[in-house]
């Protein structure tokens, strides 16, 4: 039933680059009076995401595969999906579809601002609806498979939400009320599915503040990736001790700060190798590597291919 309702949405091509800034922050306008939007996106058959094509945002997001199979990346984690699978996106980590296979490649993206569900004027219990986004342990699979027990309840709630979302014969206020009601039901089922029933509301506030902090830090790193940024410098930006920062960063990204920062530099180098004809040595220096041989070694370790091999197809094309 859910896939039937999703198929009624107008199909939009997957084109987000014009809404993603140089810090990979994806800005999508939502109605401030009711910040929820559902889109049915068609994905191309070619490679979907280069090293810098992923994005992050403050909006919360649920990804539902409608047609085709593929894989979805969030930070260092990659999860596979099939039609009907529901992925709860870790929105602050760099994320996006990594691959999509099949004659049709359609997915629905349900995105909303957290304030729609829980805000400073809400009752404390409302924060539990957002536990699947802010309090889900890193080891849990963020996907509700069609074979999972919770799938029927999540699908039913989302289908009812879509029914209200598409009901143009009803007043806007009543449609929105129905959408929120069934969205909360879906989030409640997700909270039960992930086993997040015993978390105190204070944990939610802490996780949400950490997400906001990481977003600000990520923008700074994207702007200053070629410079020398130590753990102490990054920790002081957030008002944390070095040890607090390392724990915070590991929880937010799934990796340590030095590894993350090195990968960020390598991603920018990969883009320069494919989009410019500058020498490998100058690219290595621009992204913060003073030793080209060290740059070559780290690049190969991360991409399983040398910088020269990345450059070769571009030179051949030219």
Would you identify the CATH topology of the domain 2-193? Jelly Rolls (2.60.120)
According to the model, what pLDDT value does residue 194 have? 92
CATH 1.10.10.60 fits 224-318, yes or no: yes
Report domain extents, the chain. 2-193, 224-318
All residue ranges of the chain with pLDDT < 70 are 22-23, 46-53, 120, 198-215, 251-254, 312-318
According to the model, what pLDDT value does residue 48 have? 59
According to the model, what pLDDT value does residue 46 have? 67
Task: Determine contact, residues 284/265, Cβ cutoff 8 Å.
Answer: no
Which tens digit of pLDDT belongs to each residue from 56-80? 888 999 999 999 999 998 887 899 9
According to the model, what pLDDT value does residue 316 have? 45
Q: Rounded to the nearest 5 degrees, what angle is found at the Cα of 95, between the Cα atoms of 76 and 139?
A: 45
According to the model, what pLDDT value does residue 318 have? 42
DSSP labels, 124-156: GGGGGGGHHHHS--TTS--EE-TTSTTHHHHHH
Task: Determine contact, residues 192/37, Cβ cutoff 8 Å.
Answer: no
Q: Give the whole-angstrom CA distance, residue 97 versus residue 30.
A: 22
Which tens digit of pLDDT belongs to each residue from 151-168? 999 999 999 999 999 998
Task: Determine contact, residues 272/286, Cβ cutoff 8 Å.
Answer: yes
According to the model, what pLDDT value does residue 235 have? 86
């Amino acid at each position: 039933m859910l896939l039937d309702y999703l198929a009624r949405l107008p199909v939009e091509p997957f084109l987000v680059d014009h809404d993603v800034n140089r810090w990979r922050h994806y800005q999508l306008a939502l109605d401030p009076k009711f910040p929820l939007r559902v889109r049915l996106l068609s994905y191309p058959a070619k490679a979907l995401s280069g090293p810098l094509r992923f994005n992050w945002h403050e909006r919360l997001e649920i990804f539902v595969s409608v047609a085709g199979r593929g894989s979805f990346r969030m930070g260092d984690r990659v999860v596979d999906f099939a039609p009907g699978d529901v992925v709860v996106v870790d929105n602050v980590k760099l994320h996006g579809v990594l691959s999509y296979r099949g004659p049709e490649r359609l997915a629905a993206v349900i995105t909303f601002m957290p304030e729609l569900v829980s805000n400073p004027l809400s009752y404390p219990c409302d924060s539990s609806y957002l536990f699947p986004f802010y309090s889900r342990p890193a080891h849990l699979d963020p996907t509700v498979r069609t074979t999972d027990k919770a799938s029927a309840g999540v699908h039913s709630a989302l289908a009812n939400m879509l029914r209200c979302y598409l009901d143009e014969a009803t007043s806007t206020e009543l449609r929105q009320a129905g959408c929120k009601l069934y969205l909360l039901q879906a989030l409640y089922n997700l909270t039960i599915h992930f086993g997040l029933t015993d978390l105190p509301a204070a944990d939610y506030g802490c996780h949400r503040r950490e997400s906001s902090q990481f977003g600000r830090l990520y923008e700074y790193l994207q702007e200053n990736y070629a410079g020398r940024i130590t753990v102490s410098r990054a920790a002081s930006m957030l008002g944390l001790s070095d040890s607090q920062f390392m724990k915070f960063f590991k929880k937010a990204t799934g990796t340590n700060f030095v590894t993350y920062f090195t990968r960020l530099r390598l991603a920018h180098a990969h883009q320069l190798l494919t989009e410019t004809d500058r020498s490998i040595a100058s690219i290595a220096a621009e992204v913060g590597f003073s030793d080209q041989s060290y740059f070559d070694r780290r690049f190969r370790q991360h991409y399983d291919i040398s910088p020269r091999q990345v450059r070769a197809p571009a030179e051949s094309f030219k």
